[in-house]
A and B are shown apart, each in its own frame.
Chain A
Amino acid sequence: MSAATLLLCAALAFAGMAALALSLDRHHRVALRGPVPRGRVRPLRAVGWAGIVLSFAAAIALDGWNFGPVQATGAITAAALGVALCLTFRPGWLRPAALAALPLAAACLPFALAA
């Protein structure tokens, strides 16, 4: 149970939550100007849920069923809060932040494995 694991889970969940938010017209409008293009809703939702499931799976894989669920729940909560704040105050940053979260998650992996 290390900070690296938590950051990894939070980063994956953030990317997922951001994709879910962008699959909604209201948020897509402020973050990327204009409604969600047709045919983009399903892929965004799929990516979104994948991010959340991966975040949960990573927590279980790295920390087991004892602490894993607690870690994942905390990380997903923090990620959702981050997405909501980003959409409210800096909507333009949401997509870049979500894309940056993926390499961040990858960078955390060796540290999470080593801990």
Chain B
Amino acid sequence: MSEAKRFRPAMAWLHTWAGLVVGWVLFAVFVTGTASYYKDDISRWMRPELRETVIDPAQSATAAAGFLAKQAPDSGGWLVMLPKPDQPLTEVYWWKSFAGPFHHALLDPVTGTPTGARDTQAGEFLYRFHFELALPPLVGRWIVGACAMVLLIALISGIVTHRRIFADFFTFRPDRSRQRAWLDAHNLFGVLALPFHLMITYTGLMTLGPMLMPWGLQAAYKDEAPHFYVEAGLMPKGRMPAGTAAEGLPLGEIVRIAGKDGGELPEALMVSSPGDAAATVSAVFEEPHGLAHLHPQIAYDAVTGAELARNLPAGPATRTATVMYGLHEAHFAPHALRVLFFLCGLLGAATVASGLVLWTVARAPKGAAPEGFGLRLVRILNVGTIAGLPAGIAAFFLANRLLPLDLAGRASWEVGLFFGAWVGVALAGALAPRRLAWPLTLGLAAATFVAIVPADLALIGEPRFVPFDIAMLLVGALLIVAARTAARPPSALARRAATRVAEA
């Protein structure tokens, strides 16, 4: 065979096996990442005690500083994220050194005391899961980074493998053989949203870039990595602590000064060496309203309020990198466009899922012949991931409503139930007879999503949460359709289609 003739089968082999090995992780990354487009909405729903109020960010900053000074008098730095009208809480982090650990609290925007909101990780859990998998951060990021690299390989080899991209562009034939139908679905989901798939994979790798490929930075900056961020225009130049204590201005005063200098109120304050005579407060502004995810900053002397430094202007490399961050996170996207990003994310998850199912369908034994070990393992992992993860997410939301408010370690219980439901549904799928595995597990996931709605209506029941509840019903309905389709014997689909053709 000539080199050219061997090329496509080689790419097909690469696509098949690269996709299979990382498919389960990627499905979880796609689903939780897609949900993260609505991270703030999820967090609002999961903390129903917080309501929209009139906020005064300057007052909130001063109140938060009061809390931090008492809570962590000897910390090396604070991050104060100021409240917004639709997010009426001050989120604070503090730490001794950048090596961690990082402490975290949610404060009432007026009093600066911890909020009375229920203990939950809220949308932050799903968001972090999509690049850390609830593992120690570095471990999780390396696994997701490695899987994303393989996904990029799978995407490129998939494009090469696909013989008829244009001729089959709109083709979906659920009435043909099972294998044909799943291949059509896989091609359709993959090709239609291909620009999104390539973008999200590549930009996702970029966000992990400094971790995956640290050598350039290490070679050029040795142990002085912060200099890189200053020179790249990502943060203003800092300074060393003086070692003597001094009373700083109230943080609210800095918010006011920064609001005047920056043209709008900052969204966060980064305080280095609080309480020191050379303490610095960097006011971090919302990204300018473009694709780039740039955060302009102005650094102030915490004691006098004098401006110390601003970001250097961002060069082409920084702008390119920040546009990639921006595209990945889509913070700029208003409602309608956000729906499309969400849809494309679902198509990504559907591409992975249909590819995984296709692997088993293409190798399924004829009739009632027993399946081999490898096939059985892949099928069980498919059921466990594709039906189990949604069930876990639903259980996470349901637990948020049902768990007692004063339960110790409540946030961890929610996460525990996320994994518990996931494993439970996966086990049910593994133990069920082959024909029942998909309908049973998809049905369980659907039931859990639908159950969220009465739980919310009975325990909270506020009009502002109706859109979220409707979304849960829609996901539930989608899963019911999937469960019913999976429950139908394959011949029924073909028969129905045959009658349709005969009528036509």
Chains A and B form a bound pair? yes
A→B interface (CB under 8 Å): 1-3, 6-7, 17, 20-21, 24, 26-27, 30, 33, 66-67, 70-71, 73-75, 77-78, 80-81, 83-85, 87-88
Q: Is the interface of A mostly helix, strand, loop or mixed?
A: helix
Give per-residue flags for B191-217: 1 if the beta carbon is below 8 A from chain A beta carbons, else 0. 011011000000000000000000000
Q: Are B347 and A81 in contact (CB-based, < 8 A)?
A: yes
A77 to B347, CA, bound (A): 10
Cβ-neighbour of A83 out of B170, B327, B332, B341 (below 8 A): B170
A1 in contact with B334 given A27-B170, A77-B340 (CB within 8 Å): yes
A66-B290, A81-B193, A88-B173 known; 11 new pairs, CB 8 Å cut-off, are A2-B336, A3-B334, A6-B336, A17-B170, A73-B195, A74-B340, A77-B193, A77-B343, A77-B347, A80-B169, A88-B174
B→A interface (CB under 8 Å): 167, 169-174, 188, 192-193, 195-196, 290-291, 327, 332-337, 340-341, 343-344, 347, 504
Closest B residue to A71 by beta carbon equals B337
Q: Are B192 and A77 in contact (CB-based, < 8 A)?
A: yes
A109 CB, nearest partner CB in chain B, Å: 16
Closest A residue to B193 by beta carbon equals A77
Q: Are A78 and B340 in contact (CB-based, < 8 A)?
A: yes
Q: Are B172 and A81 in contact (CB-based, < 8 A)?
A: no
Cβ-neighbour of A70 out of B173, B192, B291 (below 8 A): B291
A selection of 27 A-B contacts at a CB cut-off of 8 Å is A1-B334, A2-B334, A3-B334, A3-B335, A3-B336, A6-B337, A7-B336, A21-B169, A33-B504, A67-B290, A67-B332, A70-B291, A70-B327, A73-B196, A74-B196, A75-B340, A77-B192, A77-B340, A77-B344, A77-B347, A78-B340, A78-B343, A84-B172, A84-B192, A85-B172, A88-B172, A88-B174
Q: Are A81 and B332 in contact (CB-based, < 8 A)?
A: no
B472 CB, nearest partner CB in chain A, Å: 23
B502 CB, nearest partner CB in chain A, Å: 14
Nearest 7 interchain pairs by C-beta: A74-B340, A3-B336, A84-B170, A88-B172, A6-B336, A21-B170, A80-B192
A88 to B497, CA, bound (A): 11
A88 to B193, CA, bound (A): 18
A87 to B172, CA, bound (A): 8
Residues of A near B195 (CB, < 8 A) are 73, 77
Q: Are B192 and A6 in contact (CB-based, < 8 A)?
A: no
B376 CB, nearest partner CB in chain A, Å: 31
